[in-house]
Structure 1
Amino acid sequence: MTAVVETPDTGTRSVAWRGGFGRLWGAAVLSSFGDALRKAALPLLAASLTDDPLLIASVTACGYLPWVVFGLLGGAVADRVDQRRAMWMVDVVRGVLVAAFAVAVALGHATIGLLIALALLLTTLQTLFDNAATALLPALVARDALGSANARLLTGQQFAGGLLAAPAVPFLMTAGPGLPYAADAATYLVAAALVASLRVPVPERPPRPAGATLRSDIARGLRALWQDRVLRGLCVATALGNVGIGALIATLVVLVTHWLDAGSGGYAAAMTAYAAGSLLGGALAGRLARRFGRVRSVFVAGTAQIAALVAMGTVRDLTALVVSMTLFGAMGMVWNVSSHTLMQQRPPAAMLGRVSSAFRTLAVAGAPLGAVLGGAVAALWGPNTPMLLAAALFALSVVALAPVLKSTGSVPESTDSGQTTRGAR
């Protein structure tokens, strides 16, 4: 287990860089850099292949759809296998797939159908990888340092993936249209080597009930999520918000290039602002959690994101978009750090993969719907209207948190001290 150190000014504990966490952090950050290159380049590539906003949005939608189909299965498998081995093997396969795609793009064989197929395959593999990673982190980090570890992981991923990668995409695409994807393939393979080097004991799991199947394991994970009032409410709120995020992500390139007429440079500026805001949010997440509790931090973050989305959809100015994306990114990081930490602290260790997969599957299920809705709304009423749709959905997600806020009262739902308020079941 990675050592933890005491933070003098707050008394909470912070994860140390040495040991297994450092390698896991390095693998996650490096892989995020490559992923960001690919994800930023794909909408631009799609926009160069078609002018139809609905087709462009379909590429994003298919990047979420496998969570709906395979997410629960990925969590059940993650609780049965060696999570470290599953992660590095998945990264190797993803590296090979993206390398083949890079060759296709370089040779001029890219089509919308190929983009959709790549999105489907990569996200299908991600369902196993992400659930295994969620379950692996508590094996590397002390329970009372999970909040700090999640903040460092997510902040590092945003720094590499947004602040460093997004501005590089236009230059890489100018040098060669396949270069962003070739770089992504390389990061997958290096990340696989880092994860494979981890020395993590295979977790001891209680004996499986006689006749236990993947289906019954999935059902137990769903029940555990539903019976936890905090996680249930947070899951509903996240699902509603993700419908809005799906609309935002799928049509942001259309907003920037068509409504603002800011071109690929404006798109890179918006993505960089989001990443910079995420770094700020990573620094704020722990302070807000200590002050308000993690669920209240999510409520504050969601409320601020509503204001940012309204500004995006009503102010036709690139500077206003950059400021709004900065705020949206900061509050999104606060939301993510708190939800990740709660998801790792509240369930039994042997069910982390299944509970996290149930949470993610239900939460992410709205994103492909949001992407399609965003594309349709943009086509019917203009490229700025998906942002207003997203604002309305975030308003609903904030409302969905109200019952959880009442049930938790003034007691922090979870802190980094290792104590978790379970509440009524």
Structure 2
Amino acid sequence: MTTAEAAGLRAPAWRGGFGRLWTAAVVSRLGDALRTTALPLLAVQLTDDPLIIASVTACGYVPWLLFGLLGGAVADRVDQRRAMWAVDLVRGLLVAGFALAVGLGHASIPLLLALAFSLTTLQTLFDNASTALLPSLVDREALGSANARLMTGQQLAGGLLAGPFVPLLLTAGAAMPFAADAGTYLLAAALVASLRVRPPERGPRPAGSTLRAEIGEGLRVLWRDRALRSVCVATLLCNIGMGALIATLVLHVTRWLHGGDAAYAAAMTAYAAGSLAGGFAAQRIARKAGRVAALLLAGTVQTASLLLAGTVRHLPALLVAMALLGAMGMVWNVNQVTLMQQRSPDAMVGRIASSFRTASTAGAPLGALLGGAVAGAFGLNAPALLTAVLFALAVTSLIPTRKVDVPVVAPEDDAVTGHAPR
């Protein structure tokens, strides 16, 4: 493990493997963004049925609900580096085959659904293995900076760079975004395969131990740790709110604010730009205030920004609100993931990470349905106000754990194994 001192903060050195992992993550995120942007465009060429088109997006959520916890348990059992490059290799081959089918004119809705479902199913293992692998590459004191750099790079690639590339690629043919995505998967697989890391030490599994029992063990450890339990519940509440807001944002902008497509694009750009700024600020805020305090600050500012968006009927107010929402969302994500990595027993990071991700994924579609119902019943600005209420509840649920020196409980005997860093 290697770290470097930078501006008074513990920062991961680019040598020692983190640089390659960062590059793999950013390249892969760029390819994902190309594919997820191009898939709906291809779907509308194949069908006019809104339900079928929406089902393509839904297939990106369902595997997390079905296999998310299983992916975390498998990630804790296997060599995470090998799992990651093998998954990316398979995903690259799948997308390459899909690109070939599109190029030959054989694209179909069932093929789109199968691709979306398969890729997300594989992602349940990849993402949990990636979260569990990072502590093997950098010191725990540098996890915050490492997560901030990873998330900021991914936001830059997926949130800003991918959008302009899709129209350019489509001019060369409908298959090109998918071919580019396949290339990013294969490049990421090669980068991850070149990592040299020592797998975390794991004790022998009890005789007769099953994946189901190990998933249950991870959930029990998460529930016993008051800080992690509170953060997980708060994250679920926030994701329900964000699902409601994002699902209805286009109506908020175009009808409630009477803006056009350019106004909607400006709102999304403000959110992406704010996220980048938040990535640079996340570790510095945590350094001064502590990780749970950083979450409290982020949630409070987001609540205020949502109230601004839901009550002031002017586009500049919305742009400010979206920028703050994106910035503090990145502060939340960086510190939530880092806190989870630092407090989880080494052999259980994958299972605990999968619990967070499953909760997050469950919240988004639930929030989307809730947002649509609220907008229809109470007005097009109501989802923003509902989201503000949910964020306020999330902040309130974290207040009892603002002192993060809460003992980490061992899975076997409820013994205290350590304390969270301040």
Match for residue 210 of structure 1 among 183, 186, 207: 207
Match for residue 162 of structure 1 among 159, 163, 179: 159
Q: Please give the alpha-carbon distance, in whole angstroms, between the structure 2 residues aligned to 1:47 and 1:391.
A: 34
Deviation, 1:232, is 0.3
State the Cα deviation string for residues 138-171 of structure 1 (Å, max 9, x = none).
Answer: 1111121111111111111111111212343344
Write the mapping of 1:3-402 to structure 2, written as runs, cut at 5 A: 3-7=2-6, 9-10=7-8, 12-42=9-39, 50=48, 52=50, 58-103=55-100, 115-173=112-170, 176-252=173-249, 262-263=260-261, 267-313=264-310, 319-377=316-374, 385-402=382-399
State the one-letter code of the partner of 1:399: T
Kept after mapping to 2: 8 A contact 1:294/1:413? no
Number of the residue aligned with 2:411: none
Give SS of 1:6's match: strand
Q: Please give the alpha-carbon distance, in whole angstroms, between the structure 1 residues aligned to 2:301 and 2:386.
A: 16
Give SS of 1:367's match: helix
Kept after mapping to 2: 8 A contact 1:239/1:363? yes
Deviation, 1:62, is 3.4
State the Cα deviation string for residues 271-300 of structure 1 (Å, max 9, x = none).
Answer: 333222111101111121122211111111
The answer for unaligned runs of 5 or more in structure 1 is none
Kept after mapping to 2: 8 A contact 1:254/1:383? yes
Kept after mapping to 2: 8 A contact 1:37/1:165? yes
State the one-letter code of the partner of 2:5: E
State the Cα deviation string for residues 192-232 of structure 1 (Å, max 9, x = none).
Answer: 11111111233331111111111111111011101111000
Q: Please give the alpha-carbon distance, in whole angstroms, between the structure 1 residues aligned to 2:55 and 2:241.
A: 15
Kept after mapping to 2: 8 A contact 1:167/1:268? no
Kept after mapping to 1: 8 A contact 2:225/2:406? no
Give SS of 1:324's match: helix
Give SS of 1:89's match: helix
State the one-letter code of the partner of 1:237: A
Kept after mapping to 2: 8 A contact 1:309/1:388? yes
Compute the RMSD of aligned alpha carbons.
Answer: 3.2
Residues 15/318 of structure 1: CA separation in 2 closer, same or farther (3 Å cut): same
Q: Please give the alpha-carbon distance, in whole angstroms, between the structure 2 residues aligned to 1:112 and 1:257.
A: 30
* Structure 1 stretch displaced more, 384-393 or 210-219: 384-393
Residues 115/380 of structure 1: CA separation in 2 closer, same or farther (3 Å cut): farther
Give SS of 1:309's match: helix
Residues 304/107 of structure 1: CA separation in 2 closer, same or farther (3 Å cut): farther
Residues 157/115 of structure 1: CA separation in 2 closer, same or farther (3 Å cut): same
Residues 383/39 of structure 1: CA separation in 2 closer, same or farther (3 Å cut): farther
Q: Please give the alpha-carbon distance, in whole angstroms, between the structure 2 residues aligned to 1:14 and 1:332.
A: 21
Kept after mapping to 1: 8 A contact 2:135/2:341? yes
State the Cα deviation string for residues 293-350 of structure 1 (Å, max 9, x = none).
Answer: 1111111111222233344445565554443322111111100110111111111111
Deviation, 1:352, is 1.1
Deviation, 1:235, is 0.1
Q: Please give the alpha-carbon distance, in whole angstroms, between the structure 2 residues aligned to 1:397 and 1:338.
A: 15
Give SS of 1:145's match: helix
Kept after mapping to 1: 8 A contact 2:406/2:420? no
Kept after mapping to 1: 8 A contact 2:131/2:349? yes
Q: Please give the alpha-carbon distance, in whole angstroms, between the structure 2 residues aligned to 1:103 and 1:314.
A: 49
The answer for unaligned runs of 5 or more in structure 2 is 409-416
Deviation, 1:115, is 4.6
Kept after mapping to 2: 8 A contact 1:278/1:330? yes
Percent identity, aligned pairs only, is 66
State the one-letter code of the partner of 1:169: V
Give SS of 2:197's match: coil
Residues 290/186 of structure 1: CA separation in 2 closer, same or farther (3 Å cut): same
Give SS of 1:128's match: helix
Q: Please give the alpha-carbon distance, in whole angstroms, between the structure 2 residues aligned to 1:104 and 1:267.
A: 33
State the one-letter code of the partner of 2:184: T
Q: Please give the alpha-carbon distance, in whole angstroms, between the structure 1 residues aligned to 2:108 and 2:253.
A: 23
State the one-letter code of the partner of 2:66: V
Kept after mapping to 1: 8 A contact 2:342/2:420? no
Deviation, 1:353, is 1.1
* Structure 1 stretch displaced more, 191-200 or 173-182: 173-182
TM-score, normalising length from structure 2? 0.86
* Structure 1 stretch displaced more, 159-168 or 224-233: 159-168
Greater RCO (Cα-Cα under 8 Å, separation 6 or more)? 1
Give SS of 2:208's match: coil
Q: Please give the alpha-carbon distance, in whole angstroms, between the structure 2 residues aligned to 1:57 and 1:387.
A: 22
